[in-house]
Structure 1
Amino acid sequence: MDLLEDYRRATFFFESGDPLGAARLLEPIVEAEPHNTAVRLLLARAYFNSAQLNGAEAQLRVLVEHDPSDHYAHHVLGRTLERAGRFREALPHLRLASAMKTQTDYQEALRRVETWLGKNSAA
């Protein structure tokens, strides 16, 4: 198995709109190189883009545990939890990401979840 070539192919699949194909190529790479954060992040994004939210969450939690200052991993974890309807769990990750880095999409995701929780505070 040529891991670098498989990673390049997976990146091509992902960028071409085939997150399932990318995930299939990335899973064995993550197994072979569990500390490779770039591969794990791409796998998490492939899972997210193919609505495999449990898989995305698992990969992102590993990334956040490994590097709590990774604002992007916090953002994508928050978005994954938001997409799964787990707004209260998403909120701290979205707040952290937004506090660590000022980006429009971070702020928009945070506002969406805060608004949803504000409108559904009895939930």
Structure 2
Amino acid sequence: MSEAYDLYQQGRRHLRSGMAAQATVALEKAKKLEPDKASIREALGIAYFRITRWAAAEAEFRKVLELSPVDDYAHYALGRTLQKQGRGAEASRYLKLARCLRPRSPGDGLGP
């Protein structure tokens, strides 16, 4: 496997273990190796969201949408991130798009 993949997997393990801050270290390294990999960007966005780094999470989810404009989860995650920043009107656009693209169950993966 590639180094980027190994780092991505390490970051995902940290996320599953509730260690979002540690996940960012591995995922940032993976992003440097594979900057156009949507899966890495999404996982990094989730990690940033969980440690309340809203602007960084927003940037990652926007990049995922640039790479994959119909990614329903990225629309949802960006909407939630915008809500956390008090930008409800802007957030509603992305949340509506997410619902139209694919309804989600309550478990969104972002955490509290």
Correspondence for 1:95: 96
Correspondence for 2:55: 54
Which TM-score applies when normalising by structure 2?
0.87
Which TM-score applies when normalising by structure 1?
0.80
How far apart, in 1, do the equivalents of 2:62 and 2:13 lie?
25
Aligned to 2:36, the other structure's residue is in SS state coil
Structure 1: 5+ residue stretches without partners: 107-123
> Structure 1 pair 104/8, CA: closer, same or farther in 2 (3 Å)?
closer
**Equivalent runs, 1:25-104 vs 2, <5 Å:** 25-104=26-105
Looking at CA atoms only, which structure, 1 or 2, has the larger radius of gyration? 1
Corresponding residue pairs, total: 106
Q: Which amino acid counterpart does residue 68 of structure 1 have in structure 2?
A: P
Structure 2: 5+ residue stretches without partners: 108-112
Which fold has the larger relative contact order, with Cα–Cα distance below 8 Å and residues 6 or more apart in sequence? 2
How far apart, in 2, do the equivalents of 1:85 and 1:55 lie?
15
- Give the 4+ runs in structure 1 shifted more than 3 A: none
* Percent identity between the two aligned chains: 33
Q: Which amino acid counterpart does residue 53 of structure 1 have in structure 2?
A: W
Q: Which has the higher helix share?
A: 1
